[in-house]
Amino acid sequence: MSTLLLSDLHLPAQPSPLREQFKALLDGPARNAQAVYLLGDLFEYWVGDDIGLDVYADEIAALARLARSGVALYAMRGNRDFLLGERFERESGVHLLPDPSVARIEGRSWLLSHGDLWCTDDVGYQRWRWFAHRPVVQTAFTHLPRRWREQIAGGLRRGSQQAKAGKSSAIMDVNPSAVIAALRSAGVTQMIHGHTHRPAQHRLEIDGRPGLRIVLPDWHDDRCEVLVIDRDSIKTLRLTD
């Protein structure tokens, strides 16, 4: 048995090869896993359960089928889908985890996160993140009409893309000191996260002990990859040719 981990699929609201690949994963290789972790930004945007469950009805149904088959499903909220809520959990069979969380995977303890928490050099983004995660802000937003919410989400995406164009790559990556502090606080030496779209395995040292930071790959129409962990190995499963 193995555990699958993936993030940053950014599934669009319209029909897409990404959506087809995700459903094929859930109805195919994921059936042989004991657990699947979705570490944020599964969806390009999620403006509330009342809308998202309708837009992504096929994906929610596929998740529910997988959960009923006995595979444990976990997810974290990302910077694009931080409004995932209780109805999503209930209808999909996915258990939402706090970010970060420590999980025992195939005999080893890992610190899991979407990853944006540790991009501490990007001060502007961290300010926006603090604001957007305030309960009063989220409640107010989800009570807006659907058209307004979708327009705001679209404007935020465009603003984010423009802001990235003016930032250095170092600022948008995780801060090494923040990573070490998070591992030390969690009492583990290994972590897995997404968000940065820079898939890699980084060797670390935490208080004299060897550590590991794995960055999950983001998905593209021609490259959809999943991290697979079993008792003997850590490898990448490529779903596309």
Domain regions of the chain by residue span = 2-238
**What is the overall mean pLDDT for the chain?**
93
Dihedral, 79, 112, 219, 215 alpha carbons, nearest 10 = 110
Whether 193 has a binding-site annotation, put simply, is no
Residue 11 pairs with which residues in a beta bridge?
Answer: 43
**Binding site annotation covers 50?**
no
More confident residue, 239 or 168: 239
Look at the block and give the residue holding tokens 């935020």. 156
State yes or no: 164 annotated in a binding site: yes
Annotated binding-site residue? 32: no
What pLDDT does 165 receive?
Answer: 66
One CATH from 2.40.50.140, 3.60.21.10, 1.25.40.10, 2.60.40.1260 for 2-238: 3.60.21.10
Listed ranges 88-97, 123-132, 160-169; the one with the highest mean pLDDT: 88-97
Q: In the numeric block, which tokens belong to residue 36?
A: 């699947």
Is 10 annotated in some ligand binding site?
yes
pLDDT at 156: 81
pLDDT per position as a tens digit, 182-210: 999 999 999 999 999 999 999 999 999 99
185 labelled binding-site residue: no
- Confidence category of residue 166, pLDDT binned at 50, 70, 90: low
Q: Is 122 annotated as a binding residue?
A: yes
Smallest CA-to-CA distance from 63 within 42, 44, 77 is with 42
175 marked as part of a ligand binding site:
no
* CA nearest to 45, candidates 88, 14, 13: 13
Cα(236)–Cα(3) distance, integer angstroms: 11
**100 upstream amide cis, omega within 30 of 0:** yes
Q: What single DSSP character describes residue 98?
A: P
pLDDT bin (cut points 50, 70, 90) of residue 241 is: low
Is 160 marked as a binding-site residue?
Answer: yes
Q: Are 36 and 68 in contact (CB under 8 A)?
A: no
Question: Is 8 labelled a binding residue?
Answer: yes
